[in-house]
Structure 1
Amino acid sequence: MLPRLLLMAALLCISGGARAWNAQGHAAVAAIAEAQLSPAALRQVSALLVGDLDRNEKSSGRKHLSEIASWPDEIRDEAVKTDPAAYKGWHVRSNQVCSEQLGACRDGNCVDQLIIRYAAVLADRSQPQRARNEALKWVVHLLGDLHMPLHSGVNRNGGGAKVLVTGMSLKPEDTFHTVWDGVLLNAALAGWTRQSQPVSRGRLAVDSPTQWMIETRDLARREVYEPLPGFSCDAKLREPIVLDLAYQQHSVAVIRAQIERAGLRLAQLLNQLLAD
């Protein structure tokens, strides 16, 4: 947990655009995973990244999971220039934290179902190289998204609630969701020395991503919403939501645990999908 003064310094120094720093979170998840890959999985990853293409269909030269972890965001940024609805809903699932019922998943295009779909493509050696390459990039990215609390659990405010963060100024467009994905994520990454943990060798079920999503939804209620003053499942939170220093320090520990959990699970999944 960051001391008070260090936390404030981290927040003030990295209060720029959340989009770029969100990429840093994805890179952290991917780096944790790559360090835990089996020799067989590493060989497959290296082979699948040969000839990798960037958002503009040009050779990217990328060789590591951390370098391709935000490719789905990159292609979405390009696509929405001509189609504002491109990839809408792919990176999230709007599960209400006060309900056991899962959120809608139109045409199977939501975070947990897409991981399951792309995992099947990645594991299928009969698929074309490019299909498996893109499946790898989707799996790496979406495993990170799924473990971000507000990608798997929302309350009646949704993620669009206005917010005030003690000790810093936000942009007018910043919301509760973007603060968790950006500013608080940045603070969690600042000065973090990860404690090494071994990856599980247990075999994963096909629906493991959905179970992880449900776990993250429950964590969102317990660790993201319930610590907020006045939170109740029966009432919409009053805006702006104020995130004081105690809440910020609490969020740092939550985010670090989720990044590590995502990285270890990504390694476990890739080791299984890419085994010899």
Structure 2
Amino acid sequence: MRFFRIAALSAGLALAAPANAYWEYGHETVARIAMANVTPRTRAAVKRLLAATPELGTPECPATTIERASTWADCVKPLKDPNGKSRFGYAYNWHFQDVNICRPFTLEEACKDGNCVSAQITRDVAILKHKRTSQKERAQALVFLIHFVGDLHQPLHAGEKDDKGGNDVAAAYGIYSPKRFNLHSIWDGTLAERAITTGPSLIRRYPPAVKARIAAGDVTDWSRESWQVAHDSVYATALGGDPCAPSPAKVTLSETTIEQLIPVARLEIERGGLRLAKLLDRALG
């Protein structure tokens, strides 16, 4: 019964969520894992900066809690200035990086001019480290960082095959197949939600050895890893074992396949949370 409840909830979200969102549940869980694993000093610094987020002038998108901060970058996408222009249109490409899974891994083209998720993560950490930067700028860097680390660990924000991160691949989730459902929306919502609610809670204090192992490396390493997950798990399972085979008009993830993917999706959430904790400690702790 849980499958049908989650699927029904996710279907409603699928029609309303932005194309490049990692739905609320995924982002909130990444953020809460991070807050459970940062140092007390970092946690206090995060709370001080979140308290300053009203200075961002986005009352439609409050960010004073870690959960709301985690989805702020998606919430502000439709906001416009008095002249009708997008206030945050410049940040659209910061949510993802289109690295083709069927070519050798490189960020050079995907991150040209620094307009990609991994480059922005690095930039936000640098802003947070710089204590002379204004409180408003640091608060904005924080809410962007919280969101973008989550985005990087949704595999279809890190790897794709010229299909807009799976948005162009119509898909069915088991027997569930609403209109406009696609491979991206499955990994954004239905699969992420089921993975998070399957098994022990991911929101806990992790042992130091586990944190060190999962959070090892840097943003480039994490980008390559997420890209590899897109290759090995997302497309391989959807396309019958050959991730670089031509995509059919529609793919179906069977219940057996979904069960196999749950541990993969759980690990991506876990990685995102512990790596965000590492970056926050480095910038604020």
Instruction: Please indicate the TM-score interval, normalised by the length of the shorter structure.
Output: 0.7 to 0.9
Q: Retained in 1: the 8 A contact 2:94–2:120?
A: yes
Distance of aligned partners of 1:21 and 1:144 in 2 relative to their CA distance in 1, 3 Å threshold: closer
Q: Retained in 1: the 8 A contact 2:26–2:192?
A: yes
Q: Retained in 2: the 8 A contact 1:21–1:182?
A: yes
TM-score (norm 2): 0.83
Deviations 1:124-153 (A, max 9, x none): 101000000000111110000000010001
| 1:189-268 equivalence runs, <5 A | 189-194=196-201, 196=204, 197-198=206-207, 200=211, 208-232=218-242, 234-268=244-278
The answer to whether the aligner puts 1:12 opposite 2:20 as a matched pair is no
Q: CA offset at residue 225 of structure 1?
A: 1.4
Q: Retained in 2: the 8 A contact 1:53–1:59?
A: no
Aligned length: 268
| 1:1-276 equivalence runs, <5 A | 6-18=2-14, 19=17, 22-53=23-54, 57-58=58-59, 62-79=63-80, 82-83=85-86, 86-102=90-106, 103-158=109-164, 159=166, 160-170=168-178, 172-194=179-201, 196=204, 197-198=206-207, 200=211, 208-232=218-242, 234-275=244-285
Identity of aligned residues (%): 28
Distance of aligned partners of 1:54 and 1:184 in 2 relative to their CA distance in 1, 3 Å threshold: farther
Q: CA offset at residue 9 of structure 1?
A: 4.4
Q: Which shifted more, 32-41 or 184-193?
A: 184-193
Question: For the residues of structure 2 that align with 1:263 and 1:181, how far apart are their CA atoms?
Answer: 16
Q: Retained in 2: the 8 A contact 1:113–1:210?
A: no
**Secondary structure of the corresponding residue to residue 31 of structure 2:** helix
Question: For the residues of structure 1 that align with 2:49 and 2:257, how far apart are their CA atoms?
Answer: 42
Q: RMSD of the TM alignment (CA)?
A: 2.8
Q: Retained in 2: the 8 A contact 1:69–1:141?
A: yes
Query: Which structure 1 segments of 5+ residues have no match?
Result: none
**Secondary structure of the corresponding residue to residue 172 of structure 2:** strand
Question: For the residues of structure 2 that align with 1:129 and 1:60, how far apart are their CA atoms?
Answer: 18
Q: CA offset at residue 238 of structure 1?
A: 1.0
Q: Which shifted more, 91-100 or 18-27?
A: 18-27
Q: Retained in 2: the 8 A contact 1:79–1:86?
A: no
Question: For the residues of structure 2 that align with 1:153 and 1:29, how far apart are their CA atoms?
Answer: 20
Question: For the residues of structure 1 that align with 2:40 and 2:122, how far apart are their CA atoms?
Answer: 23
**Secondary structure of the corresponding residue to residue 274 of structure 2:** helix
